[in-house]
Structure 1
Amino acid sequence: MRMNEGVEWAVHSCLNLAWLGEERAVPTAKLAAFYELPAAYLNKQLQALARAGIVTSTSGPRGGFRLARPPEKITLMDVVAAIEGPDEAFRCTEIRHRGGSGTDSRSETPCAIHTSMRKAELAWRRELAAQSIADIAATVDDHSPAAAERVRRWFGDTRT
């Protein structure tokens, strides 16, 4: 399964916002500059996250984005669905009923290919739904303990 790069950008943005805490809004330009991303395109991803209730947006000189709920309550599936949409990855068009396939044109039997693809997709979705932004933060902390502090310093957050 291939996801667009906006998913990666959105997850990284959520992770950074989690490290920065709920009390601080971060402008799109600042989030984009951290990874050298185009701000306009990142803003589209952040707006999708806002529509999904993952982040909130505040306008004005101290405006920007912050997480709308605790990182423990935001799953990777939430982020993927916000960016990619809720549609199934595989869409069965029932080609088995066309041309010379030899099957009954009104078969009551579910398509075995669709059933297999759906089963795989549900497993993928369950795995993403089982991992939160907090889980990702904990994994990063295990492998790179200084990462959260580097983010806080870069964004001008001096707390430790």
Structure 2
Amino acid sequence: MTAYLLLGARCVLAAVFAVSALAKFRAPRDFASALRAMAVVPERLTGVTVVAVPVAELGLGLLVWAPKPIATWAFALAGGLIALFAAVLVSVLRRGLDVSCSCFGASGVPVNRAHVVRNLVLLAIAGTGLAASAATGSDGLAVAGVALALLVAAFASILIIATDTLVELFSTAR
């Protein structure tokens, strides 16, 4: 069972981090603007942060696929990064700022509780991956189990990445 949880956690984190990083690389100005509007890093560090965050996301998305000791550390670091992202979003909400997150590219949806929930879900997935990575031996994987793990991971990844779209859809459908 833990091997399937590990596979699912690897897939979700790799997909979510890859999409997030690529969106930031494609639109660095949007990401920099969001950082400035959130006022979470000093202005002089904005340029470094615009590069460092997507590099960290891509690196961790790849490292969760590494062998056991490296993957375990990658899940722990991914959890730390996600917790940092959640703290930033909570800070933005507490200060009442009307700013979009640019987590997955330019967005017109202001930071809201759904973004925090998304990060808590990702944090739980990173924690699951950490626990599964630390516990997993060399169990074999059955084709049906792999297919199910990949299907669940794909669905979860799409929901996580589409948070802004879903929030916009359900907030205007009233």
TM over 0.5: no
Bigger relative CO (Cα 8 Å, ≥ 6 apart): 2
Higher fraction of strand: 1
Report the structure number with the largest CA radius of gyration: 1
- TM-score for the superposition, normalised by structure 2: 0.29
- TM-score for the superposition, normalised by structure 1: 0.31
